[in-house]
Structures are given as structure tokens and as C-alpha cells.
Amino acid sequence: MIKAPFRYVAGLLAGTLLLSASPYTQAQLAPRTHIHIVGSSTAYPIIASAAERFGRNSGFTTPVVESTGTGGGIKLFCNGLGLNTPDIAMASRSMKSSERASCEKNHVTDIREIKIGYDGIVLASSKAGPRFALSSDDLYRALARQVPAADDSGKLVTNPYSNWRQISPDLPDLPIRVYGPPPTSGTRDILAERLLHQACLQQPTLRRLHAEDPEEFAHKCYSLREDGAFINAGENDARLVRKLIADPDAIGIFGYNFLDRNRDRLQAAAIDGELPDFESIESRIYPLSRPLYLYVKPSHHRVVSGLQQFVERLVSEDMIGAEGLLIDQGLIPLPGK
């Protein structure tokens, strides 16, 4: 597929926003003087930084940015049109078909999807603890609610593993304790679809189930344990970093930019032999590299002061290009930018 040059894409987006007609007038909408952005906790510090710069330098009110998780943000975004709904949703994965259907049901049919760059999902721990090197199969056996029985019967049983050493003699002799994202998180979706999915397909019972009943396969494969080994840490990645510092034997799952900001205190686990860094994520060698998206309602641009200008500024080369200002906030640029 041929990619349009960066400036052309940004210009096309701006033109699209300018030409879109709103189905509302100011009189029909509750008053709001700021842009409202919700969604991914991973994208939050990146977009919040862009919003602060925009507020300082544009003459418009600083946009309000809320970390609700990708799923939670898209749900709010799809609730309808009007100033009682968000203008932009941040996402650490692409919008699902079910979410698009929810948008359409609520008359949100004109949506602009903008890929702004890349991030990587990391598994990290305190530097005060041991360094982990994990395979996809290790993670599946550590996190899944059900795993194949040890007797090779092919049956799925409640996850019996309580210690990393039970999974592999190469892993630390420590209890399994993983702080991770809630079900509304795009990080959790990518973790399931990239790592758990592939590991499940290595199991004959689950491979057959995938062929016969994909929905049941997803339920069996993507359901995480609830016995204390996996701990729902919420959407606040900064708080999760603090938990890891206080608990050196635990592992946390979050976005690369939080690791990058805390390298003096945290260390990343290798996944299938690859460590997360700027180059491995940008090249997609790292198995949990993923794009970051914004979803925008063009119909809001006539009634939300500064929305068009904010989007234009955000997608500019000065912000998300190879030397863009948002690189310092953890954004990894799109190839060729």
C-alpha cells in the first residue's frame, strides 16, 4: 500500500475538518469552551503535553485530557454527538468493529482515525529485584485463568502455577505477582491478541477450539486469572510504577514511555528474546510494539473552539515527526516521518 507523504496527509486531514458540516448549532448545544479528550492511559502523557503547549501558544483554552483507558474512552466518544460528549478519543489500539457499531447506533458516523506514532507494551520490575526473560508461553502459563493439564490429557484446568520457577527452571524462584491493566484497557487487548493468542495456538486442545468456535477460543485464551497472581492495577500507570518500587518481586504491564521515564528505578523484561527500546519498537521487532491512535469527530469543529487548530498542530511534523516535540514525551514516530 502506497503511503501519502506526511505533509499531504496532515493537510488532507485539516481540509477534511474544515469542510465537514456540523449537524448542530451553538444554540442546540450545552456551552463548552474547551476541547474534551478521553482515552488511553498510555497516550495520556503524550497528548496532555501537546494540550498544554497548545494552550500556552495558541490563544485557545487548554484542552482537557482524561485518562479513562482506551475502551472506556471510546465508549464515551461513541455515546453520541454534541458538547456533552468528547471530541477526541485516544487509543492504544484500533477501534473494534463492535465499537464502530456502537458509534453508528448513536449517530457518530463521521470519524477520523489518525495514527500518531508507536509505543510498546513493556513488562518491567524494580531494579531491586531480579531481571526477567519471558517467552510468550511463560506469560500464557503465568496469566491465563485456565491452562493445559500437566498430564498431557489435553484438558484445560484452573491455573495451578503460583511460582515462576514452576513454569520454567530458568525463571526466578518468586511468587507470580503481575500488576496489569483492567479489561477496558487497550494494553490488555494487545497483550491478549499478540502474546496469549499465539501461545494458545501451540496447545492442541485450544488450536482445535480456535478452528471450531473462535468466540469460545477467545474466552478461554484471553481470560486472565483472578486468584491474586494477576492484579488489576487500574489505568494510572504512574501509580503502577510506584507499586513496583514498593514491591521489588512483582512485574508490571504498562506503556514504554513510563519505563523510559523511570529507567533509574525500573528494568524491562525481555519478551521472546527482545528487549523494548526506541529502535526495536520503531522497527516492530519488539513483539509488543503497537500504534497509537486518535479518533476525532469532525462534526464538532464548528462548535468547539480550537478543535481544528489543535488537530492540525498535533499532526504537524514539529510535533510527531522524527525530531518532533512529542518524542521527548515517549512517542516513537511513524517510519519515514
User: Which of these, 180, 45, 51, lies nearest to 119 by C-alpha position?
Assistant: 45
pLDDT for the residue 38: 97
Joined together, the cell numbers standing for residue 281 give 519498537
Regions of the chain where pLDDT drops below 70: 1-31, 336-337
pLDDT for the residue 5: 40
Domains parsed from the chain with CATH numbers: 6-119+291-329 (3.40.190.10), 120-289 (3.40.190.10)
pLDDT for the residue 39: 96
Q: Which residues pair with 88 in a beta bridge?
A: 37, 296
pLDDT for the residue 25: 42
